[in-house]
Amino acid sequence: MKTFVLPIVIVLFVVTTILSLPSFLPQKETATLSDKALREKALKGGMTPVPKTWEAMLKAVDNPKNPVTREKVSLGQQLFFDPVLSKDRTVSCATCHKLEEGGDDNLPTAIGIKGQANPHHLNSPTVLNAALAKAQFWDGRAKDVEEQAGGPIQVPFEMGMTPKGVEERLNADAGYVAQFQQVFGEGNITFEKVRDAIGAYERTLLTRSAYDRFLEGDDNAISPAAKRGMTLFLTKGCKGCHTGMSVGGQSIQKFPLRRYFGDYVGLLFEPDVKLKNSPFPFPNEGGFLGKDDRLRFRVPILRNITKTAPYFHNGAVDKLEEAVRIMSKYQLGNEFTKEQIDDVVAFLNTLEGSVVGY
C-alpha cells in the first residue's frame, strides 16, 4: 500500500491546485463604465475626494474632544519632528513616518531607539490620511490619532519614554512651556496635551491626487488603464473593505478570508518551514496574528500605497503587483490576470498625492 501513497499525493496536488485556482473558474466580464458612471459609483459608495480648504478639512476630521486650531497644529508639528520625545533623543515620530516617503519608513519592520526592531516584526502604517480611519494600528486597538500618538512614545523598543518622563522633560523647557500655555492655557504640560497636539497635526496630513481631481469631474485626470483598474476595484469587491475618503481604514477584517486545498497539499513539498507554519500566503515573520490572535487586521489605507512598500503587516511582500494578486485570490476568491493586476496598479498610482497645505 505504501507504494501508492506518493502517486496519490501527486495526483491530489495537481487536481486540487487546478481546482483551487480562480482563473480556471468561469468569470464574468468586467463591466465597462463611462467616466460619469464610474465617478458616480465611487461617490455613491462613500469614496469622496479629500477637501481643498481648511474649513472643509475640519468638517471631515475635526475632533470635538480635541478641536483643531492652527496654533495647536503648529505645536503638534514641532513635537512630531522633535526627538526630545524619545528616551535617548534619537527618534521622533517622523523617524518612522517620513511624510515625503508616503508617511511610513519603507522598512519591513519599525526600528526604534538603540536600533531595536519591533519584536513582532510589524510594518509601520502610514500616518498620511490616518485621521480618516476609524481605528489605528494593525489590530485597531487605538480609536483615534490622539490615542495612537501616545503609543510609540511609551513602547520600550520604539521611543522608550514614560508619560511622567515626557512631562518632566518638556516642563523643563521654557520654550515648550510658553507654547503649550498659548495653546492650552495656563498649567503644566501633561502627556494628554502632548498627544492632543500631535493628533491635531496628524489630522491635517491629508493628501490629494489625480484620483481626487477625477472624482471632482476632471475626466482627463487619470488614464484609460487607471479607469479600467478603478472599474475592477469598484465591481470586483475591493471597495467592500477599501472604502471611504481614505480608501481604507474603515473596518477590521479577517485576512486571509480564503485558503485553498491546493495550498495545503503544496506545503507537503514546501522546503520553506516559515511558509509551512504561516496562516498567510507568505512567511509570518514575527508571529503576529492580528486582533485577539484571530487573523483580524485593520484594513490598510490605500492612498499613497505606491510609496509604502513593503506590504502587509510584516512587510513580507515587496511588490505592489504581488500584493494585489494575493488580495484578489485570498480575499476576493477571484485571482486577477496579469492585465487586470496592471490596471489595478495603474488605478492605485492615481492615489499617490501630496499633503494639502491647509
Please determine, for residue 17, whether its predicted confidence score (pLDDT) is greater than 60: no
Using the 3D structure, point to which of 159, 177, 203 is the last residue of a domain. 203
The verdict on 35 and 106 lying in the same domain is no
C-alpha 314/C-alpha 120 separation (Å) is 8
Q: Determine the average pLDDT of the residues in 217-244.
A: 98
Q: Is residue 5 part of a domain?
A: no
Burial 131-159 (b: 16+ CB within 10 A, else e): bbbebbbbbbebebbbebbbebbeeebbb
Q: What is the pLDDT of residue 268?
A: 61
Number of domains observed in the structure of the chain = 2
Please determine, for residue 15, whether its predicted confidence score (pLDDT) is greater than 80: no
pTM of the model: 0.90
Please determine, for residue 277, whether its predicted confidence score (pLDDT) is greater than 90: no
Please give the torsion angle defined by the CA atoms of residues 250, 255, 258 and 260, in that order, rounded to the nearest 10 degrees. Answer: 160
> By C-alpha distance, which of 248, 214, 210 is closest to 327?
248
Tell me if residue 55 is catalytic. no
Q: Is residue 8 part of a domain?
A: no
Q: Residues 140, 291: contact at Cβ < 8 Å?
A: yes
What confidence tens digit (pLDDT) does each residue in 21-53 have? 444 444 556 677 999 999 999 999 999 999 999
The verdict on 228 and 185 lying in the same domain is no
What confidence tens digit (pLDDT) does each residue in 128-186 have? 999 999 999 999 999 999 999 999 999 999 999 999 999 999 999 999 999 999 999 99
The verdict on 108 and 235 lying in the same domain is no
Q: Is residue 310 part of a domain?
A: yes
Full residue range of the structural domain in which residue 225 is found: 25-50+207-355
The verdict on 180 and 137 lying in the same domain is yes
The verdict on 163 and 96 lying in the same domain is yes
The verdict on 187 and 109 lying in the same domain is yes
Q: Is residue 322 part of a domain?
A: yes
The verdict on 83 and 146 lying in the same domain is yes
Q: Is residue 6 part of a domain?
A: no
CATH number for 40: 1.10.760.10
Please determine, for residue 13, whether its predicted confidence score (pLDDT) is greater than 60: no
Using the 3D structure, point to which of 153, 174, 203 is the last residue of a domain. 203
Q: Is residue 7 part of a domain?
A: no
The verdict on 314 and 196 lying in the same domain is no
The verdict on 73 and 32 lying in the same domain is no
The verdict on 60 and 195 lying in the same domain is yes
The verdict on 147 and 232 lying in the same domain is no
Percent of the chain with pLDDT over 90: 86
The verdict on 199 and 211 lying in the same domain is no
Using the 3D structure, point to which of 150, 172, 203 is the last residue of a domain. 203
What confidence tens digit (pLDDT) does each residue in 322-352 have? 999 999 999 999 999 999 999 999 999 999 9
Q: What is the pLDDT of residue 264?
A: 66
Q: Is residue 10 part of a domain?
A: no
Q: Is residue 285 part of a domain?
A: yes
Catalytic residue among 146, 158, 167, 335: 158
Write the DSSP string, 37-77.
HHHHHHHHTT-PPPPSSHHHHHHHH-BTTB---HHHHHHHH
